[in-house]
Structure 1
Amino acid sequence: MEFVIEMVWILLPLVIVGAIAIFVVHQLKTKQKRGTLGKKKSPEAQTVLDSLIPLGMLLGTGVGITFNFFFSDSLLLAISLGSGIGLLGGYIAYERYSKKEESDM
C-alpha cells in the first residue's frame, strides 16, 4: 500500500502539469483555427505578446525553486509544478495583453 501512495505522489505533479499543458495548447490551437490569436500592430508589442508564455514558465520555475528553499520538498516537484503554474499564468497574461488596446500601453 505504501508503494501505491508513493507512486501517486510521484505521478500527481505530472498529471497536474500535463493537464495544464493540454489545456493551454488546446486553447491556443482553437484560437489559431478561428483566427483570433492576439496580434499587435507594432513589432515590439508583438514580441512582448509572443514571449509572455515562455517568460511565465521561467518565472514559475524560479518561484518553484525559491519555494523549495524554504520548504523541504522535492526539487523536481517544485520545478515541475512551478513551470506548469507559470505556463498557466503566462497564458492568462497572453489573453489579457492580447485584448488590450495598443494606445493603453
Structure 2
Amino acid sequence: MSKRILCRCEDVTIEEFGKAYRDGFAEMEALKRFTGVGTGFCQGKGCLCESALELARLRGIDPSQVPLTNIRPPIEPLTFEELASLDLPPLMGEMEAALRGDDPEVGS
C-alpha cells in the first residue's frame, strides 16, 4: 500500500497522524507539535485543513468542532535573502560590543 501523505512539507502520513491520535495526542495543537504537521515551509497552508478534517473523522465529530492550531509568525515564509535585506536597527551598545568581542565587561 502506498503512503497517503497528509503534510507534504514534513512528510507526515495519514497513518502516522492516526497513530499519534491513538497514542493520546487528541488535540490539533498536540498533533501538530508531535507530528510536525503544519510546521513546514507552507506553515500549514497546504495541510491544516485536511489535518482538521482527519482529526474530526478520527474523533467522530463535526469538523467545525476541531479548534485550529496556534499560528505563529512568520505566516509567510521568508528566504534568507529576504531576511538579510530587511532594514533593521543596529544592535545597541553592550550587546554589539559583546558580539564584536571587545566588551571590557566580558572576560577573555
Shorter-chain TM-score tier: under 0.3
Higher relative contact order (CA 8 A, sep 6+): 1
Q: TM-score, normalised by structure 1?
A: 0.27
Q: TM-score, normalised by structure 2?
A: 0.27
Q: Which has the larger radius of gyration?
A: 2
Structure with bigger helix share is 1
